[in-house]
């Protein structure tokens, strides 16, 4: 078990190294001198030189890269060119809505997807199964931002049940925050629940064909016990994997949904940074998002230990 944990922890290092390098390379992908591009055609040579210094691109490439890793190791993501404040601060300021939205959407996707998959697997081949799977297939074909727009149209514009857009921070009351996040979370999570339902169904179907399920039924265990205690526990490993991946997809999706619903989160931060070519902010946001994703997947990998004893003895 210790080897398993150690192996998983060590595997994070090269991935994060590549992530950091990709973030570094981004600035240098732009054709021409990034500082001149950011400063615009009317900037003086002096201003461009200052900007080059601020971006740290006034040194040879290998020194820039070395400094970049060194700064990251110290938690320093640099200073935003336009916001004129440390990138870490800007990100922390905007993290609340994005994390709440992503977590709510993930919960929703799991709470809808897993039971749907189980019901479908129990009624394999029947009308309910076919109906649910057609719905799931349709669900995976709707882009979340489109679903968001349609929900605004129906539930905010036509029915008036929810605000059209906007976000109420937690300070303004948890209930009001929750209300402002209902539509965005549904738009984001519903589509993902379709995928989770399909994976859960197929994992459950695989497990329900196993001998130990037959043995359980043969010795007269109640069907619910067979399904929920014995089958579900075994089927949950692939499901958990897809939930981990879902979190990344939803974190990416949140960027778009924030734009649809005017939510001032990390998505709005990175889009405004892209439009102003504020590279330190872009680099900071993608680094943090990738790190969160890597850590969530690490947590998922470690959760296998609790679910599947076979891994503990590897």
Which residues make up the interface to other proteins (CB under 8 A)? 14-19, 21-23, 26-27, 29-31, 137-138, 140-147, 149-150, 152-153, 157, 191-192, 195, 198-199, 201-202, 205, 248-253, 255-256, 259-260, 270-271, 273-275, 277, 279, 282-283, 285-286, 289-290, 293-294
| Rounded Cα–Cα distance for residues 34 and 30 (Å) | 6
Question: Least distance in Å: CB of 36 to other proteins?
Answer: 14
| Rounded Cα–Cα distance for residues 157 and 148 (Å) | 12
| Rounded Cα–Cα distance for residues 10 and 15 (Å) | 10
**Which residue's CB is nearer to other proteins, number 115 or number 140?**
140
Question: Least distance in Å: CB of 306 to other proteins?
Answer: 24
| Rounded Cα–Cα distance for residues 98 and 258 (Å) | 8
**Which residue's CB is nearer to other proteins, number 79 or number 144?**
144
**Which residue's CB is nearer to other proteins, number 138 or number 215?**
138
| Cβ pair 255, 271 in contact under 8 A | yes
**Which residue's CB is nearer to other proteins, number 114 or number 216?**
114
| Rounded Cα–Cα distance for residues 185 and 105 (Å) | 5
**Which residue's CB is nearer to other proteins, number 14 or number 60?**
14
Work out the burial of residue 201: count CB atoms within 10 Å of its CB; fewer than 13 is exposed, 13-18 middle, 19 or more buried. Answer: buried
Question: Least distance in Å: CB of 312 to other proteins?
Answer: 25
Question: Least distance in Å: CB of 195 to other proteins?
Answer: 6
Question: Least distance in Å: CB of 65 to other proteins?
Answer: 15
Longest CA pairwise span in the chain (Å): 84
| Rounded Cα–Cα distance for residues 126 and 119 (Å) | 11
| Rounded Cα–Cα distance for residues 103 and 262 (Å) | 18
**Which residue's CB is nearer to other proteins, number 213 or number 271?**
271
Question: Least distance in Å: CB of 278 to other proteins?
Answer: 9
């Amino acid at each position: 078990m210790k080897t398993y944990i150690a192996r998983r922890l060590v595997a994070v290092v090269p991935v994060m190294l590549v992530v950091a390098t990709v973030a570094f390379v981004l600035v240098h992908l732009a054709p021409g001198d990034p500082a001149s591009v950011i400063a615009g055609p009317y900037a003086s040579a002096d201003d461009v030189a200052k900007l080059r210094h601020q971006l740290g691109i006034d040194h040879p490439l290998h020194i820039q890269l070395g400094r970049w890793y060194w700064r990251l190791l110290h938690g320093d993501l640099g200073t935003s060119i336009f916001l004129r404040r440390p990138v870490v601060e800007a990100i922390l300021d905007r993290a609340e809505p994005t994390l709440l939205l992503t977590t709510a959407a993930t919960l929703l996707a799991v709470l809808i997807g897993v039971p749907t998959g189980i019901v479908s697997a129990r009624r394999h081949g029947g009308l309910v199964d076919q109906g649910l799977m057609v719905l799931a297939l349709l669900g995976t074909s709707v882009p979340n931002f489109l679903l968001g727009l349609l929900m605004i149209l129906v539930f905010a514009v036509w029915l008036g049940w929810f605000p059209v857009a906007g976000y109420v921070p937690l300070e303004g009351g948890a209930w009001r925050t929750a209300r402002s996040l209902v539509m965005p979370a549904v738009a984001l999570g519903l589509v993902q629940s379709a995928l989770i339902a399909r994976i859960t169904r197929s994992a459950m179907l695989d497990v329900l064909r196993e001998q130990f399920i037959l043995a359980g039924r043969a010795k007269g265990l109640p069907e619910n016990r067979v399904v929920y205690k014995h089958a579900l526990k075994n089927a949950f490993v692939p499901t958990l994997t897809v939930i981990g991946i879902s979190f990344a997809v939803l974190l990416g999706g949140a960027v778009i949904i924030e734009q649809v619903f005017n939510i001032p989160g990390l998505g709005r931060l990175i889009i405004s940074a892209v439009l102003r070519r504020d590279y330190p902010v872009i680099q900071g946001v993608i680094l943090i998002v990738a790190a969160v994703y890597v850590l969530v997947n690490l947590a998922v990998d470690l959760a296998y230990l609790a679910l599947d004893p076979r891994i503990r003895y590897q």
